[in-house]
């Protein structure tokens, strides 16, 4: 093994490395007078005459693809986010979590320069202020580690320790994170320990053997993604990945890691037919080594950075994903609520005439909403590959589509769980996401799109100002159905509750394009009820004047012992009403 690079004219015999005598498998050497910015690779010749040039798995900077050399670099940076780093020590799960999911290469382009993507520093000049204006608490970046294929969106990683150089240097990425922190915005990084690409310069078949991956393709090759699967049974591989996670948290001040494709790690038969996988030692399909790795990962992160969030994208009903490792769980802080997302979007895509037959698709999520700590994800995966944008998933004419999208957002913010929106959803973009193009920011000039943006902004503010929406976000005590059985009218009504009895909100959602006048809703007690949010507000492109601040005395039915209130529910709309304090 030797180091080749711009400092030795890429001569394979100029700087050989030697294996340590301790049997560790580590090779070492010293190369003098190598300066910052020098390019380098490892030249490897194995015992079976296999020869290859590899990038450094631990490189902190890489050439911009399609070039594949590692770059000698340092990570010195003057951080000024001390206030944020102190503030984040408060338990994040007890506060609002509203995540804006971003692909940096397509958030906004520079049209004056042939539509190139923005640099990290250009993003730092716009993204933090936009997120603060919109009221998001966190940005979640699609994978930022170096990846050779731009069309993979970052999910095919070759340089695990290097932010992609497409948008700038490691310090430029730090500058962006620092700017987000100074704007009071947390940063979550999409992290991919589930698989890696087989590009020659990457981790695959690294030294002429299957060093990082399983040798048997039934364990080491992913049929869907045509990529290699890490061998979690090797201590060196687990150390590599856990060290990488801690590196991002330490050197880049990352506030959370969203672990991609957890289900593909947990199941040996994931996306495989019978005979295409190897059972574990007990004959089961659970990947015992991956389970241990995920527990070790969460333990290491929470021991070193207790204030950092770990989030699982786990698409099955695996039990205990967010339960403590000490109780047999995987130890994550949050899990994407994929069932809620699939059922909700399936329901909203139905013609409103048929929704009454499928009301259970909305109410079912509350049967398991508190079995884990969930994030409600309307993510990038739902607006690509012909799935259409959120706006164009909605049925009906233009008015109905916008009304339904406003209702979808309102329903999500009223539902228990943290929130996640992919960029473009906050203003109802027409096109589905295209990674080679910018978001259609010009659509904001259209009143209906601008109304969606105002709605999401106000929902974030509403979320942050109402303890009923976050204090018991992950507790059954924070939710109560009022009516989930009125399928005939396609209406749902529920209460969200804070820690104090005085913090309660009534939500009413009408999923048909018909106004329900004098609709009777059971309420917990008498008093004055004040509407505090309405998705049909003129401000959002609706037809109803804002009723905020308007008190209405409760009506009673002499024949019923329980109080009720008569309300007008907007067509394809949702509203929230402040419940009077309990004395």
Catalytic residue numbers? 260, 313
- For residues 524-551, average pLDDT: 80
User: What pLDDT shows up at residue 556?
Assistant: 42
| Per-residue CA distances from 52 to 41, 49, 100, 325, 568 (Å) | 10, 10, 41, 41, 71
Question: CA nearest 189: which of 323, 315, 310, 58?
Answer: 310
Q: Across the chain, what does the average pLDDT equal?
A: 94
Hey, what CATH topology would domain 476-578 get? Immunoglobulin-like (2.60.40)
Could you tell me which of 124, 135, 139 has the C-alpha nearest to residue 309? 139
Task: Over range 159-170, report the average pLDDT.
Answer: 98
pTM for the predicted model, two decimal places: 0.95
Mean pLDDT confidence for 402-428 = 98
Structure tokens at 533: 């949010």
Instruction: Determine the average pLDDT of the residues in 259-266.
Output: 97
CATH of domain 1-74: 2.60.40.10
The answer to whether 1-74 and 476-578 have equal CATH topology is yes
Residue 555 has pLDDT above 70, yes or no: no
Please spell the DSSP secondary structure of 99-110, one letter per residue.
Answer: EEEE-TTTS-EE
pLDDT at 552: 52
Dihedral angle, C-alpha 415, 417, 422, 424, nearest 10 °: 30
Residue 549 scores a pLDDT above 60 = no
Residue 567 confidence (pLDDT) above 90: no
3-state secondary structure 124-176: HHHHHHHHHHHCCCEEEECCCEECCCHHHCCCCCCEEEEECHHHCCHHHHHHH
Residue 69 has pLDDT above 50, yes or no: yes
Q: What is the pLDDT of residue 491?
A: 96
In angstroms, rounded to a whole number, what is the distance separating the alpha carbons of residues 504 and 526?
14
Q: Which pLDDT band holds residue 545 (cuts at 50, 70, 90)? A: low
- Provide φ and ψ at 195, rounded to 5°: -165, 170
Would you say residue 24 has pLDDT above 70? yes
Alpha helix ranges (H) inside 501-575: none
Instruction: Of 20-24, 71-75, 148-152, give the lowest mean pLDDT range.
Output: 20-24
456: Cβ contacts below 8 Å, ≥ 6 apart: 134, 409, 421, 425, 426, 427
Phi, psi of 160 (to 5 degrees): -65, -25
Confidence class of residue 286 from pLDDT cuts 50, 70 and 90? very high
Q: In the chain, pLDDT over 70 holds for what percent of residues? A: 96
What are φ and ψ of residue 121, in 5° steps?
-70, -35
pLDDT at 37 over 90: yes
302, pLDDT greater than 70: yes
> Average pLDDT, stretch 26-39?
95
Question: What's the average model confidence in pLDDT over 453-478?
Answer: 98
Residue 374 is predicted with a pLDDT of: 98
Say which residue, 529 or 239, is predicted with more confidence: 239
The pLDDT, as a whole number, for residue 560 is 46
User: For residue 543, what pLDDT is reported?
Assistant: 87
> Taking 80 as the threshold, does the pLDDT of residue 547 lie above it?
no
For the cut 50, the answer to whether the pLDDT of residue 34 exceeds it is yes
Q: Confidence band (pLDDT; 50, 70, 90) for 91? A: confident
Residue ranges of the domains in the chain?
1-74, 476-578
At residue 562, the pLDDT reads 58
β-bridge pairing 551-553 and 479-486: unpaired
User: Are 132 and 125 contacting, i.e. CB atoms less than 8 angstroms apart?
Assistant: no
Summarize pLDDT for 206-261 with one digit per residue, the tens. 999 999 999 999 999 999 999 999 999 999 999 999 999 999 999 999 999 999 99
With bands split at pLDDT 50, 70 and 90, how would you rate the model's confidence at 563? low
Nearest to 134 by CA among 95, 181, 99, 94: 99
Helices H / strands E in the chain, number of each: 12, 28
Q: Is 530 exposed, middle or buried, given 0-12, 13-18 or 19+ CB atoms closer than 10 A?
A: middle
**Does the pLDDT value for residue 192 go beyond 60?**
yes
Q: Distance between CA 324 and CA 450 in Å, rounded?
A: 43
């Amino acid at each position: 093994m030797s180091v080749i690079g711009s400092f030795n004219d890429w001569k394979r015999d100029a700087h050989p490395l030697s294996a340590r005598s301790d049997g560790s498998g580590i090779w070492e050497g010293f190369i003098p007078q190598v300066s910052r910015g020098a390019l380098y690779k490892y030249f490897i010749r194995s015992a079976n005459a296999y020869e290859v040039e590899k990038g450094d798995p631990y490189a902190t900077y890489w050439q911009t693809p399609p070039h594949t050399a590692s770059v000698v670099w340092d990570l010195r940076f003057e951080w000024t986010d001390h206030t944020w780093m102190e503030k984040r020590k408060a338990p994040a799960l007890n506060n609002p979590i509203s995540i804006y999911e971003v692909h940096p290469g397509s958030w906004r382009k520079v049209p004056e320069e042939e539509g190139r993507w923005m640099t990290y520093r250009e993003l730092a000049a716009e993204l933090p202020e936009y997120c603060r204006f919109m009221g998001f608490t966190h940005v979640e970046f699609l994978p930022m580690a170096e990846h050779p294929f731009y069309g993979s969106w970052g999910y095919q990683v070759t340089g695990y320790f290097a932010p992609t150089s497409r948008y700038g240097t490691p310090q430029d990425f730090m500058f962006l994170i620092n700017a987000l922190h100074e704007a009071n915005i947390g940063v979550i990084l999409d992290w991919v320990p589930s698989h890696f690409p087989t590009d020659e310069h990457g981790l695959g078949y690294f030294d002429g053997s299957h060093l990082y991956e399983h040798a048997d393709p039934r364990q080491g090759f992913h049929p869907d993604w045509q990529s290699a699967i890490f061998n979690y049974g090797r201590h060196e591989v687990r150390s590599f990945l856990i060290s990488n996670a801690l590196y991002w948290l330490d050197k880049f001040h990352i506030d959370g890691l969203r672990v991609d494709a957890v289900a593909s790690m947990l199941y040996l038969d994931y996306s495989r037919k019978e005979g295409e996988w190897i059972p574990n030692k007990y004959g089961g399909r659970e990947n015992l080594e991956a389970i241990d790795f995920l527990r070790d990962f969460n333990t290491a992160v929470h021991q070193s950075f207790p204030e950092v969030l770990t989030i699982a994208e786990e698409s099955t009903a695996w039990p205990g994903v967010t339960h403590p490792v000490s109780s047999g769980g995987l130890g994550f802080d949050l899990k994407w609520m994929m069932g809620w997302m699939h059922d909700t979007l399936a329901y909203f895509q139905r013609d409103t005439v048929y929704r009454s037959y499928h009301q259970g698709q909305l109410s079912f999520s509350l049967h398991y909403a508190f079995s884990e700590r969930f994030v409600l994800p309307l993510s990038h995966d739902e607006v690509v590959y012909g799935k259409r944008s959120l706006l164009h998933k909605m049925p009906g004419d233009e008015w109905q589509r916008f009304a339904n999208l406003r209702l979808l957002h309102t329903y999500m913010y009223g539902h228990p769980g943290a929130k996640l929106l992919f960029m473009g959803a906050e203003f109802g973009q027409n096109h589905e996401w295209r990674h080679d193009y910018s978001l259609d920011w010009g659509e904001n000039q259209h009143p209906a799109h601008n109304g969606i943006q105002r709605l999401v902004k106000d929902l974030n503010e509403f979320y942050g100002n109402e303890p009923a929406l976050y204090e018991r976000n992950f507790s059954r005590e924070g939710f109560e159905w009022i009516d989930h059985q009125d399928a005939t009218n396609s209406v749902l009504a529920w209460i969200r509750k804070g820690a104090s009895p005085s913090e309660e909100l009534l939500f009413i959602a009408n999923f048909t394009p018909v106004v329900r006048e004098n609709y009777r809703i059971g309420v917990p007690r008498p008093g004055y009820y004040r509407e505090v949010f309405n998705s049909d507000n003129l401000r959002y492109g609706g037809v109803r004047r804002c009723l905020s601040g308007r008190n209405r005395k409760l009506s009673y039915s002499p024949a019923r012992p329980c109080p009720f209130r008569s309300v007008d529910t907007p067509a394809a709309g949702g509203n929230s009403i402040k419940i009077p304090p309990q004395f």
